Amino acid sequence: VNQTFGKVLARDADEDKNGVVHYRLQRDMRYISIDIVTGEMKLLALPEKGVVMATISAQDNGVPAMRSSVPVIIVSASEDYGICDIAVNKDTPKGTILGRIEVYCDHGREKEVTRRFLSDETFLTINSDGDLVVTGDFSKNVEVELISELKNGEATRHHVRVELSHGNLSPPHFEERILYFTIAEDAERGDMMGAVNAKDTDAGLAGKLRYCIESHDVPFQMLSNGTLVVSGRLDYEHQRRYVFNVTATDQGQPALNATTQVVVDLLDVNDNPPIIEDAELVYAVSYSDFFGCAFALSPVPSEA
């Protein structure tokens, strides 16, 4: 707070007072201020919302005065989700759709997002469907910020790193056609069950893999690094075996993938007590069952 976070710079080709520029906010805002001479902007207070928009005007001292304006977006991100890597070929034409932004930035997808935008859309932009679209020519690696404005008013931030790809020649490869895992039925949500691993001989992002489960009906979750964890309730008596496919996808352009089958067998634990089916047992007995004479007969040897 009360620190300079940015600067607006306007140039006027006129001389004398016609070329002197002053800066102003088009409407008063309690969050930011701007130096009328230098164009430096300061943060006066933390915004209540994660994304705040303002408009800065630059006006000269000529008669009549002339001016121009620029929108300024101030982002107060509550969470920083790290780096998203994207590979782009050098000759990728403008307008090429690279895919959904969630494919590259898979953190925080459970939160409701009202909009996403990039801090610099010279090379990439996000269309209304949430797809990344190429808008410029790539001659070097580029880094931009991805801002996600959430429904609750907060904002999150990803660092998007775009890497020039040198080709994607080799697809991923699983050495095992079927992978087997076992886990006890009393495992809790979040418990790690194991990991899958595929190989890719390409360099850079073309050889970097992400993993996902090709099913939504299993109580397991695959992390992007290949770790398999429990995500739902397990019950040996209900279902003893799960069979599903796992896909490994590289991050080259175009992306290549491979699929393997995963078999998970549950181990039974003693989690069920004996159950007496009858709610109540009633028996009738008579006195004759308890009072009476008991005797035994034994043979008597005959006299010779």
Q: What is the pLDDT along the chain (304 residues), one digit of tens a residue?
A: 678 888 899 999 998 888 999 999 988 777 888 999 999 998 888 776 777 788 999 999 998 999 999 988 777 766 666 678 888 887 888 888 888 777 777 654 546 777 777 878 888 888 888 888 889 888 888 888 888 777 777 777 778 888 888 778 899 999 999 999 999 999 999 999 999 999 999 988 889 999 999 988 999 999 888 999 999 999 999 999 999 999 999 988 888 999 999 999 999 998 878 888 888 888 887 766 555 555 555 666 666 5
Please report whether residue 283 resides in a domain: no
Residues 88 and 134 in one domain: yes
Residues 33 and 70 in one domain: yes
* Domains of the chain: total: 3
Residues 198 and 237 in one domain: yes
Please report whether residue 297 resides in a domain: no
Q: Which of 74, 98, 113 represents a domain boundary (last residue)?
A: 74
Chain centroid to Cα 168, Å, comes to: 25
- CATH code where residue 191 lies: 2.60.40.60
Quote the pTM value.
0.61
Q: Name the residue among 267, 243, 225, 237 with its Cα closest to residue 180.
A: 243
Q: Which of 56, 74, 92 represents a domain boundary (last residue)?
A: 74
Compute the Cα dihedral for 181, 184, 188, 191 and give only its sign.
Answer: negative
Please report whether residue 203 resides in a domain: yes
pLDDT of residue 290: 56
Residues 159 and 206 in one domain: no
What's the half-sphere exposure (Cβ side, CA atoms, 13 Å) at 294? 4
pLDDT of residue 300: 65
Asked if residue 254 has a cis previous peptide bond (ω within 30° of 0), the answer is: yes
Cα 154 to Cα 8, 35, 104, 108, 265: the distances in Å are 25, 28, 21, 13, 42
Residue 235 belongs to domain spanning:
178-267
pLDDT of residue 169: 87
pLDDT of residue 298: 60
Residues 157 and 232 in one domain: no
Please report whether residue 302 resides in a domain: no
Please report whether residue 277 resides in a domain: no
Which residues does residue 144 pair with via DSSP β-bridges, in sequence order? Answer: 160
pLDDT of residue 185: 94
